[in-house]
Amino acid sequence: MDRVVPPRPDVARLVPYDVPPPTVPVVLATNESPYNLPPPVLARVHELVDALAFNRYPDPTARALREAIGARYGLGADHVIVGNGGDEILLDLLLAWGGPGRSCLSFPPGFAMYGICCDVTGTGYVEIERDTETFAVPIEAAVEMLQGGAARQAVAGSSDERGGEGAPVIVIACSPNNPTGTLTPRADIERLLAATDAVVLVDEAYAEFSGETVTDLIDEHANLIVLRTFSKAFSLAGLRVGYALGRPETLAPLYKVKMPYNEDAFAQAVALACLENAQLFEARWAETRAERERLAEALSAKPGTTVLPSAANYLCARVEGVGDLAGLLLDGGVLVRDVGGGRHLRGYVRVTVGSPAENDAVIAAWPGRGEDE
Ligand code: PMP
C-alpha cells in the first residue's frame, strides 16, 4: 500500500511535542531541579541497578512506592495512584471522565497539557481567564459556571472554542500556577469543591516550593484529586514519576484506564530511594525558595522589569519595551521559556530558579542595569 488512512481529525490537528537539545550552558526553561540526585541517593541507585530483576514486569500498582508516598501525607497506599509522570495521570483523568460530549474547565494562562489531553480524548475544553493583573482564579465566574450547568455558555470571559456539552465534569486548578507562579487561596479551592460534584484536580506539581497544600481536604471532599510529581522537587524529571492523591473510590476509575505496567520497576525503586532520603531534598527546596526571592529582587531592580509574585521554582517576568526577551537572554547564554506567544502574557518569559551561579547568570544577562550596579 502506498498510502495510509488519516487519523481522527482532532488528532490530525495536533502538533507533536518535541524540543531541540539546549545549546547554551544555563538551561532554565523546564522548571527542573538544578541539581542531580544527592550522592547518597545516587549510591543507592547503583545498588538498585545490580539488584533489579530487569527480566520481570514491575509491580503494576507500585505498592511499596504508594505506601511511602501516602505516609508523607498521613494517608494509606489506597489513597495514591502512581503515573509515568504527572502528565500520564492528566491523560488518564481525561480518559476516565472526559470524552466526546463532556468538558473540562481550566483557568488560563496555564499548563498546556490540560488542553492537549482534552484534544487527545475528544473532551471539550472550557477556559475562564485568570485576572489579568493578579492572575488569580476567577472564582466567582467559575462557581457561577459550575452551578449554572449548561448555562455556562453565557458566562462572561469564557472561551468556548472547544467547549463540550453541559456542565464541566472536570475542573483543573493549578497551584502554584504554571507559568505565573500564582498560589490559589485554600478558601477558593474549597469554594470550587463545594460548588460542584465535578472532579476538582488541584495540580500541585510545584507545591514543595510553596509549602502549601490542600491534600488534607481529601477526607472532606470526594471530588478532590491532588496531582504531584517527582520531576521538580525530587530531581527526577528524567525517570517520569508522578502521582495523584484522593479517596480510594475517587481514584478507582483511574486504575481502570491506566496502562497495566505504566511505571517501570527502576523508576519505582529510585523514587522510593528519594523518599527514604527526603530530608536531603527538603534542604534544597529551602535554597530554591531563598534564591527565588533573591532573583525576584535583583530582576525587579532592573528598569522596566515586572516580576510576578511566585510561590513556585520559577519566575514569570517581562521588561517593558523588550519584545524578544527570551532571544536576548539566549544571546547571553541563558535558555528560558518564552510564554509571551499567547494573548495572556505578552512579552513574558518564565525563568526557572537555578543554582546561585545560574541565577547570577540570569541577572547578568537581563537587560538594563540594576540600581546598585
Ligand atoms: N503539572 C504542571 C503544572 C507541570 O508544570 C508539569 C510539568 N511540566 C506537570 C504537571 C507534569 O510533570 P511530570 O509529567 O514531569 O510529572
pLDDT for the residue 307: 98
Q: What three-state secondary structure class fits 140? A: helix
Mean pLDDT by 10 residues, the chain (373 residues): 93 88 94 98 95 97 98 98 98 97 96 94 95 96 83 41 70 98 98 97 98 97 98 98 98 98 98 98 97 98 97 98 96 96 91 98 88 49
- Distance from the alpha carbon of residue 204 to the mean position of ligand 1, in angstroms: 9
CA distances from 82 to 54, 87, 95, 121, 242 (A): 20, 11, 16, 20, 6
Is 111 near ligand 1, meaning CB less than 6 Å away? Answer: yes
pLDDT for the residue 19: 87
Q: What three-state secondary structure class fits 356? A: helix
Is 231 near ligand 1, meaning CB less than 6 Å away? Answer: yes
Residue with cell 485576572: 131
Is 204 near ligand 1, meaning CB less than 6 Å away? Answer: no
292 closest CA partner among 340, 347, 351 = 351
Is 242 near ligand 1, meaning CB less than 6 Å away? Answer: yes
pLDDT for the residue 150: 41
Beta strands in the chain (DSSP E): 26-27, 80-83, 103-106, 124-128, 158-162, 170-174, 199-203, 224-229, 242-245, 305-307, 314-319, 334-335, 337-338, 349-352
CA distances from 126 to 102, 131, 135, 206, 333 (A): 10, 16, 17, 24, 38
- Distance from the alpha carbon of residue 148 to the mean position of ligand 1, in angstroms: 31
Beta bridge partners of 229: 242
Instruction: Compute the distance between CA of residue 195 and CA of residue 188 in angstroms, rounded to an integer.
Output: 10
Is 86 near ligand 1, meaning CB less than 6 Å away? Answer: yes
Atom number in ligand 1 closest to CA 111:
3
pLDDT for the residue 331: 96
- Distance from the alpha carbon of residue 88 to the mean position of ligand 1, in angstroms: 10
Is 109 near ligand 1, meaning CB less than 6 Å away? Answer: no
Closest protein CA for atom 9 of ligand 1: 86
For the record, the C-alpha cell of 348 comes out as 513574558
pLDDT for the residue 342: 80
Query: Sign (positive/negative) of CA torsion 92, 96, 99, 103?
Result: negative
pLDDT for the residue 153: 43
pLDDT for the residue 151: 40
- Distance from the alpha carbon of residue 65 to the mean position of ligand 1, in angstroms: 19
pLDDT for the residue 269: 97
- From 32, 91, 111, the mutation candidate for ligand 1 (largest count of ligand atoms within 8 A of CB) is 111
- From 227, 229, 274, the mutation candidate for ligand 1 (largest count of ligand atoms within 8 A of CB) is 229
pLDDT for the residue 164: 54
